[in-house]
Chains A and B, each alone.
Chain A
Amino acid sequence: MADAGMLRFHVPEPEVRPGGTPDFSNVPIPKAGSVPRPDIDVDPRSIRDHAFSIIRVLNRTGEAVGPWAGLLSSDELLTGLRHMMTLRTFDARMQMAQRQGKTSFYMQHLGEEAVACAFRKALAPGDMNFPTYRQAGLLIADGYPMVTMMNQIYSNEADPLKGRQLPVMYSSKEHGFFSISGNLATQYIQAVGWAMASAISNDSRIAAAWIGDGSTAESDFHSALVFASTYKAPVVLNVVNNQWAISTFQGIARGGSGTFAARGLGFGIPSLRVDGNDYLAVHAVAKWAAERARSNLGPTLVEYVTYRAGAHSSSDDPSAYRPKTESDAWPLGDPIVRLKNHLITLGVWSDERHAQAEAEILDTVIAAQKEAESHGTLHAGGKPSTRDMFEGLYAEMPPHLRRQRQQAGV
């Protein structure tokens, strides 16, 4: 073989950096309604194309079209719109509270509201989500009290987690929301284990695993796919591809070709891509995957194609690594605007009613915030006790911790 010359090291780069003009022309966006809806017991090999396309329901003029449309009533869609608007308002208020020093940290969902809000509505009571830190829509859509979320964010005296956890690391077994951990991807395999347990117990409940595009590079992503595939666990494996992992564009996790959904194909797991900013499409695909799991047909991998419109967290400034206007150029638009337009097209909504709803939601969130702040914020007012720091580590406090608690004077 001829001498190929020196090797060259390859490091993927995003198309555009700060100062450049955002360009998503290289992102193929299939027409709404163009991707078929297979039966849930489909042979995974026959739907390989679904891992490379994008399932979409809402078209440019706001109509619901194609085989994935028609699952939700107008009332259900209005409720979904309200959930997304609530989450966005909640985010804005908590982001502001962080800037005001009322808490140390916050993470917004801006632009990704449809994913968790619509997914939650595809689950049944008793199902368990294993979320990341960017799925608070699961709680909002399940009616978890906003005041309690805020108490956690403020680490105040009413914080259900007693001030032990960083803000947004919620936990609610009752609402099918597994305790969030700072360690990326760990919950992905735990979700598979939970689903295995449900199958072992001949239960009818299913699990949903959540991960971002960047964290798919963690080894627990692989662990989860292996175990889910091996044991045909009743789990929906969700990948939220918002294009960014802090400053790192998704090509660093994914490489230069293929999709995140395509990763599932090598494990024999049916894998679909869906428009993550299309409430109806997210719900329809989630329902399909949930029905598969509940029918003992095994796992499904779903990649939600969306865009992280906000900063990674309150500690992040995206203008240092991507164009400021990039989210405006995102071809799948804004999930709230798109559902709003659809509801207007249906004749059940209007700009006036939308503005009115925005005002009502803001009032509700502000009222919740006032109530939460009456229990304290991070640096002022009521706070968890020092005793709470020592308790709850073990079912029964071991002697060495009792001694340390005494030393701490509590």
Chain B
Amino acid sequence: MPRRTMIEAIRDAMDVSMGRDEKVVVFGEDVGFFGGVFRCTQGLQAKYGKSRCFDAPINESGIVGSAIGMAAYGLKPCVEIQFADYMYPAYDQLTQEAARLRYRSNGDFTCPIVVRMPTGGGIFGGQTHSQSPEALFTHVSGLKTVVPSNPHDAKGLLIAAIEDPDPVIFLEPKRLYNGPFDGHHDRPVTPWSKHELGEVADGHYTVPLGKAAISRAGSALTVLAYGTMVYVAQAAVEETGIDAEIIDLRTLLPLDLDTIVASVKKTGRCVIVHEATLTSGFGAELSALVQENCFYHLEAPVARVAGWDTPYPHAQEWDYFPGPARVGRALLETMGA
């Protein structure tokens, strides 16, 4: 099976979707001729023409707002916000319009759009190239929020998102674009070509939205993670020797609660890991759900390892990023509690 980077997998997902359905259009800043600042749309304009893949003015509200209008017409826009940090001008369109169109019109109009946005830190991106704003989407009724962690899932989830009849926020951890990253910034990074999850089938396949994956089976403790933190958790598990079960949530909303609850009931312990800031982050929702659904099975408090409640700094990158050492400490503490 061919191996692809996450960038190539995402591009392939759009290529496959555009090839299968002429209603799929792709646009955003630098997305057309140039092929995207991360190369995710390279070649699509040449292959499908300027009517299907084109450059947009630097106006995030305009990109999402026009996509909503296109969706109301009957197209399936898959648009790009260059960095998740720059989605805020579009937040009004996403939360008040895309999320509610089906509901407020009782299905008269719908909004089958996908809004792709590179997310997450670990790249010395500083304050506005590192943010993880997923909690600002999971709090919004009517949106679906997806975060892939590997090329295979990225392609399958993106095709599923494009085919989904509802608006999907598709957060791409840019730290994982070229290879998995476990937080050990002092070690060389392995490219996806050397990783089995870099195996991405040709053609059409989907990974269903709303289904988590168990990325490591274990019995001592449950780790809930997504995006880059899946690999950080794996490193922490290996380094602590704890037989943890790592769940890659993949879709944050709708959430695969069944998989989470079954695992925590089995292990009795739960550590939640995300890059986003702690307070009111998605981890708080996960923690509450675990507590509500697994209270009598819990043998330790649910722990959260997250970004500090500060803007994402530049020089202090590795003091901020929740790396394997911090996650490992939380694992040990949760086991000892």
A positions within 8 Å CB-CB of B: 128, 130, 160-162, 164-165, 169, 171-173, 178-179, 181-183, 186, 188-201, 207, 219-220, 222-224, 226-227, 230, 392-395, 398-400
Contact = CB atoms under 8 A, between A and B. Distances in A.
B105 interface: yes
Closest 7 CB pairs of A and B: A193-B69, A193-B66, A189-B65, A223-B62, A398-B254, A190-B69, A197-B73
B105 A171 contact: yes
| Chain A CB within 10 A, most for which of B66, B75, B142 | B66
Given A186-B93, A190-B65, A230-B57, A196 B70 contact: yes
B210 interface: yes
Contact of B104 (A130, A171, A192, A400): A171
Nearest to A395: B165
Contacts of A165: 104
A179 B59 CA distance: 23
B110 A393 contact: no
Interface string B199-215: 00000000000100000
26 contacts: A171-B105, A172-B108, A178-B72, A179-B108, A179-B109, A181-B96, A181-B104, A186-B97, A189-B65, A190-B97, A192-B69, A193-B73, A194-B69, A196-B70, A200-B51, A200-B75, A219-B89, A223-B65, A223-B66, A224-B65, A227-B57, A230-B57, A394-B144, A395-B110, A398-B210, A399-B210
Nearest to B73: A197
Contacts of A192: 65-66, 69
Contacts of B67: 193
A200 B96 CA distance: 26
B57 A201 contact: no
Contacts of A196: 66, 69-70
Nearest to B257: A399
Interface in B45-72: 51-52, 56-57, 59, 61-62, 65-70, 72
B103 interface: yes
B166 interface: yes
Given A178-B72, A197-B73, A392 B102 contact: yes
Nearest to A202: B51
Interface in B7-65: 25, 51-52, 56-57, 59, 61-62, 65
Contacts of A173: 105, 108-109
Interface residues of B, number: 47
A223 B64 CA distance: 10
Contacts of A191: 69
Contacts of A194: 69-70, 72-73
A200 B25 contact: yes
B101 interface: yes
Nearest to B74: A197
A200 B22 CA distance: 10
A162 B265 CA distance: 40
Contacts of A197: 25, 69-70, 73-75
B107 interface: yes
B68 A190 contact: yes
Contact of A164 (B65, B103, B109): B103
B219 interface: no
Name the residue among B51, B89, B105 with the largest chain A CB count within 10 angstroms.
B105
Nearest to B102: A392
A169 B166 contact: no
Given A186-B96, A219-B89, 6 more contacts: A161-B105, A189-B93, A193-B77, A196-B66, A220-B61, A398-B254
Contacts of B110: 395
A190 B107 contact: no
Nearest to A192: B66
A285 B207 CA distance: 51
A198 B73 contact: yes
A67 to B, nearest CB: 34
A199 B68 CA distance: 15
A189 B109 contact: no
Contacts, number: 147
Nearest to B23: A201
B260 to A, nearest CB: 12
B92 interface: yes
Nearest to A384: B106
B128 interface: no
Contacts of B77: 193
B255 interface: yes
A193 B61 contact: no
A393 B142 contact: yes
Contact of B69 (A183, A189, A400): A189
Contact of B65 (A198, A201, A220, A230): A220
A400 B89 contact: no
B141 interface: yes
Of listed A189, A190, A194, residue having the most chain B CB within 10 A: A190
Interface string B96-128: 110011111111111000000000000000000
A33 to B, nearest CB: 37
A312 B105 CA distance: 24
A189 B257 CA distance: 37
A271 B166 CA distance: 36
Contacts of B257: 399-400
B109 A171 contact: yes
Contacts of A190: 65-66, 68-69, 72, 97
Nearest to A398: B254
Nearest to B142: A393
Nearest to A174: B108
A249 B250 CA distance: 50
A224 B164 CA distance: 27
B69 A179 contact: no
Interface string B123-152: 000000000000000000110100000000
Given A179-B105, A181-B96, A226 B73 contact: no
Given A173-B109, A178-B109, A179-B109, A227 B75 contact: no
Given A186-B92, A196-B66, A227-B59, A393 B165 contact: no
Contacts of A178: 72, 109
A224 B59 CA distance: 10
A311 B93 CA distance: 28
A169 B62 CA distance: 23
